[in-house]
A and B are shown apart, each in its own frame.
Chain A
Amino acid sequence: MSWPLFLARRLAALVAVLLVASFLVYGLLYLVPGGPMAFLLGNRSGSPEQIAAIRHEYRLDDPFLIRYFGWLGDALRGDFGQSLVYRQDVSDLMSTRLATTGLLVLYATVIIVVAGVGLGVLGALRRGTVDAVISLVNSIFLATPTFVVGVLLVIVFALGLGWFPVFGPGAGLPDRLYHLTLPAIALSLGSAAFLARITRASVGEELRREHVETARSRGFSQSHIVRRHVLRNASIPVVTVTGLTVAGLIAGSVVVENIFALDGLGSLLVRAILQRDFAVVQGVVLVLVTAFVLINLAVDVCYSLIDPRLSPGEAT
C-alpha cells in the first residue's frame, strides 16, 4: 500500500464515520421521549403558529430520511439551521466560539506536549532527585481537579498579582493568547503530568532495549543515543496519549470556559442542551465528532511516520 492509497482509505473511513455520526446525531431528536415536538417545545407552551413554524423549520412533515438528507446537505454547505433560542444561524453562533475553543485547545496542547514530553524525558534520563521532584509535582497536578487549578490561578495570578486578565477572550491574536494563557494552563496541567508519566515510562523502557545496548557497544555518546535511538522509538505511546488528551480537552474545556467566562463551544453545547436548542446541539456535536475523527487520523499518520513497521509506504 502506498501513501496516497493509505490517505484515501483513511479519508473514506473518516467520511463513513462522520456519516454514521451525523445520522445518529440527527436521529436522536426523534428518540427523545414525547417525540421531537415535545422536545423542541420544551417548557415553552407553544402557540399554534410557533408549532407550525417549528414543524416547518425542522421539516417534521417530511419522511425521516428525506429530512435527514436535507439537513445533511445544508450542513455540508455550512448551514446548520437556526437556533430556536438565539434566533440566529447556528453556523454564526458556532464560528466565533469555535475560534475561542480551538485556540484554547491548541494552546493547551502545546503546553501539554512541551511540558509533558520535556519533563518525562528529563525524569527518565536523570533518575534520582530530579526524577523524584518531577514525579511528586506530577502526582500533585494529576490529583488536582481542573476547576481547582483554574480557581487558584485566577486568585493568584489574576486577582492577586494582576499579571493576567480575570476573564474574557480578548481581541486580536496576541491579546487573545494573553487572555487564554491562564485558561490554557488550567486546562493542561493534569494532562501534562499524565503525559510526563507516559513519556518517562516509555523512554525508560526504550533505554533498556537491546538495540540501545548495541549503540552503547558502538561507542555512541549518551546524547547521541537519546536523540537517535530512544526518542523516536519511545514516541508511539506518547503520540497515542497526546491524541486522546487533545480529544479530551475539547470536552474538558467546558469547565475552564465557565471559570474564565469564555464563550466557547463547550459552554454553547451545555447551554443548548439545557435549553433544548436542538439545531445548535446537532451542529456542535457534528463539529466535535469531526474534530475527534481528524485527531484520530493525525495520530495514525504520526504512527506511520514514526515506525516503518506501521508505514503504508513499505516495500516488500
Chain B
Amino acid sequence: MSNDLLVLDQVRLDIPAGRDWRTLVENVSLTIAPGEAVGLVGESGSGKSMTARSVLRLAPPGARLSGRIEFDGTPVLDLGPRDLRALRTRRIAMIFQDPRAHINPVRSIGDFLTEAMVTHLSVPAREAHARAVRLLADVGIADGERRMRQHPHELSGGLLQRVMIASVLAVEPDLVLADEPTTALDVTTQSEVMAILDDLRRERGMAMLLITHDLELAAATCDRIAVMYAGRILEVQSAETLVQTPRHPYTTGLMVSRPSIDRVAHRLPVIAGRPVAAFEAGAGCAFQPRCTQAGPECLTGRPPLRELAGAHVACVRAEES
C-alpha cells in the first residue's frame, strides 16, 4: 500500500459505438499524493476530461470502465451507489471548464453555493448562507450578499468560475479535479482565477488534478505533470525537470511550439498534423504519424511507459532524442 491519495492503475474507458466499443482512455496509470498538484496536459481529444470523469465515475452512459482506481485506499470502481455519492460529496470535487453551462441557470448563486452544505452536511440554511458569503470573499468576491441573490446570467464568466471554486471549497474535499478551469474565460481573468484556485487549495492542503492544454500553466502550478495523447499517458515527470528535459518527442513538440512571451494571446496549432483519439490510433506508437523522430521500430506495438532517469516515458527512442 502506498500513501498516495489517488491511484489510477491501467485505467481504460470504452464507450459503445454501434456494435463496437470505442476506446477513449487506455492503460492510464497515475498517482496523486495528498496535497500534491498534478497536471494533465495534452491536445484536444486526448482523453483528459474522460480520465478525470472516470475518477468520479461520471463516464457517459453505457461506458465500460476498467482497471483500478483507488482513492484513499478505497477501490472506486467497486463502490455501491451510496458510497459513490459519499465520495463525490465530501472527498473529491470537480471544477468544470464552462461555468455558464455547468451552473443551473434558473437557480440563484446562493442556492448553488449552499445546496451541498444544506443537503449533505446538514448545515442550517442561515449558517450555510453566512459560510457561502465568507467563501465568496475568499475567492475575491466582496459583495457576496448581493451576489448570493443574483442568478448566473447576471455574472461574468470569471465571477462564475470563482463561484464554482467557492462551491468546491465549501465541502472541503481532499482532491480537486479541475478540468480546464480557465479555458472558457477571457484572457485577462484567466491568470487571476488560476491564482485564486491554486492559493486556496494550497492553503487548505487539497490535492489537485489540473487539466489543461497549456504546458506552461501546468508547469507553473503543478508539482508533477503527465502528458497525455490518444488516451494514453506518454510521459510523467516533475514539473521542473519536464520543462528542462522533456523526454518524449510529443512533449518536446508541445514545448517548442509554445509561444514564449505573450503566452495567452495566441494558442498556436502545436504540432504538425491532427491529434487523434485513442480509438483512431494505429497499432504502433499512437504519435508516430506526427513524430519527427519516428523510425521503423515505432510501428511494432504501443511503447509501454518505462522509467528513464527519474522520468516515465512511453517512447522506444527516448534515449536518442
Min CB distance A230 to B, Å, is 10
Min CB distance A86 to B, Å, is 51
Q: How far is the CA of A316 from the CA of B154 in the complex (A)?
A: 7
Are B119 and A220 neighbours in the complex by a CB distance under 8 Å?
yes
For the side of the interface on A, what is the size category? Answer: 20 to 34
Residues of B contacting A213 in the complex (Cβ-Cβ under 8 angstroms): 58, 96, 102
Residues of B contacting A233 in the complex (Cβ-Cβ under 8 angstroms): 104-106
State which of B87, B120, B150 has its C-beta within 8 Å of the C-beta of A315.
B150
Min CB distance B174 to A, Å, is 14
Q: Does A33 interact with chain B (Cβ within 8 Å)?
A: no
Q: Does B202 interact with chain A (Cβ within 8 Å)?
A: no
Are B154 and A221 neighbours in the complex by a CB distance under 8 Å?
no
Q: How far is the CA of A316 from the CA of B107 in the complex (A)?
A: 16
Contacting residues of chain B (53-86) with chain A, CB-CB under 8 angstroms: 56, 58, 84-86
Min CB distance A169 to B, Å, is 42
State which of B94, B96, B105, B115 has its C-beta within 8 Å of the C-beta of A307.
B105
Interface centre among A220, A232, A306 (most CB of B within 10 A): A220
A211 and B89 contact, Cβ closer than 8 Å, known pairs A217-B94, A219-B120, A309-B151: no
Interface centre among B86, B90, B94 (most CB of A within 10 A): B94
A214 and B106 contact, Cβ closer than 8 Å, known pairs A314-B154, A316-B154: no
A232 and B58 contact, Cβ closer than 8 Å, known pairs A214-B96, A217-B93: no
Q: How far is the CA of A315 from the CA of B153 in the complex (A)?
A: 11
Question: Chain B: which residue is nearest A309 at the CB level?
Answer: B153
Q: How far is the CA of A210 from the CA of B58 in the complex (A)?
A: 12
Min CB distance A305 to B, Å, is 10
Q: How far is the CA of A216 from the CA of B81 in the complex (A)?
A: 12
Q: Does B103 interact with chain A (Cβ within 8 Å)?
A: yes
Question: Chain A: which residue is nearest B164 at the CB level?
Answer: A214
Are A217 and B104 neighbours in the complex by a CB distance under 8 Å?
no
Residues of B contacting A209 in the complex (Cβ-Cβ under 8 angstroms): 101
Q: How far is the CA of A141 from the CA of B58 in the complex (A)?
A: 38
Min CB distance B58 to A, Å, is 6
Q: How far is the CA of A228 from the CA of B114 in the complex (A)?
A: 13
A210 and B93 contact, Cβ closer than 8 Å, known pairs A232-B106, A314-B154: no
Q: How far is the CA of A79 from the CA of B230 in the complex (A)?
A: 78
Contact flags B98-114 to A (C-beta < 8 A → 1, else 0): 10011111111000000
Question: Chain B: which residue is nearest A127 at the CB level?
Answer: B61
State which of A214, A228, A314 has its C-beta within 8 Å of the C-beta of B102.
A214
Q: Does A308 interact with chain B (Cβ within 8 Å)?
A: yes
Residues of B contacting A220 in the complex (Cβ-Cβ under 8 angstroms): 85, 115-116, 119
Contacting residues of chain A (26-46) with chain B, CB-CB under 8 angstroms: none
Q: How far is the CA of A213 from the CA of B115 in the complex (A)?
A: 15
A217 and B56 contact, Cβ closer than 8 Å, known pairs A224-B119, A309-B151, A309-B153: yes
Q: Does A218 interact with chain B (Cβ within 8 Å)?
A: yes
Question: Chain B: which residue is nearest A229 at the CB level?
Answer: B104
Q: How far is the CA of A219 from the CA of B98 in the complex (A)?
A: 19
Are A217 and B88 neighbours in the complex by a CB distance under 8 Å?
yes
Min CB distance A83 to B, Å, is 50
Residues of B contacting A177 in the complex (Cβ-Cβ under 8 angstroms): none
Min CB distance B273 to A, Å, is 30
Residues of A contacting B150 in the complex (Cβ-Cβ under 8 angstroms): 315
Residues of B contacting A211 in the complex (Cβ-Cβ under 8 angstroms): 101-105
Q: Does A51 interact with chain B (Cβ within 8 Å)?
A: no
Are B85 and A219 neighbours in the complex by a CB distance under 8 Å?
yes
Contacting residues of chain A (199-222) with chain B, CB-CB under 8 angstroms: 209-211, 213-221
Question: Chain A: which residue is nearest B98 at the CB level?
Answer: A210
Residues of A contacting B153 in the complex (Cβ-Cβ under 8 angstroms): 308-309
Q: How far is the CA of A233 from the CA of B107 in the complex (A)?
A: 9
Min CB distance A231 to B, Å, is 10
Are A210 and B101 neighbours in the complex by a CB distance under 8 Å?
yes
Are B93 and A218 neighbours in the complex by a CB distance under 8 Å?
yes
Residues of A contacting B107 in the complex (Cβ-Cβ under 8 angstroms): 228-229
Q: How far is the CA of A309 from the CA of B119 in the complex (A)?
A: 26
Are A219 and B106 neighbours in the complex by a CB distance under 8 Å?
no
Contacting residues of chain A (203-261) with chain B, CB-CB under 8 angstroms: 209-211, 213-221, 224, 228-229, 232-233
Q: How far is the CA of A216 from the CA of B93 in the complex (A)?
A: 11
Min CB distance B21 to A, Å, is 21
Min CB distance A224 to B, Å, is 7
A308 and B151 contact, Cβ closer than 8 Å, known pairs A218-B89, A219-B85: yes
Question: Chain A: which residue is nearest B120 at the CB level?
Answer: A219
Residues of A contacting B104 in the complex (Cβ-Cβ under 8 angstroms): 211, 214-215, 228-229, 233
Contact flags A296-316 to B (C-beta < 8 A → 1, else 0): 000000000011110000111
Question: Chain B: which residue is nearest A217 at the CB level?
Answer: B94
Min CB distance A126 to B, Å, is 14
State which of B88, B101, B105 has its C-beta within 8 Å of the C-beta of A218.
B88
Min CB distance B178 to A, Å, is 12
Residues of A contacting B56 in the complex (Cβ-Cβ under 8 angstroms): 217
Residues of B contacting A214 in the complex (Cβ-Cβ under 8 angstroms): 94, 96, 102-104
Instruction: Known A-B contacts: A211-B103, A217-B58, A228-B104. Give 18 more (CB < 8 A).
Output: A210-B98, A210-B102, A213-B58, A213-B96, A214-B104, A216-B58, A217-B94, A219-B85, A219-B86, A219-B87, A219-B90, A220-B115, A220-B119, A233-B106, A307-B105, A309-B105, A314-B151, A314-B154
The 3 closest A-B pairs by CB, nearest first: A219-B88, A219-B89, A210-B101
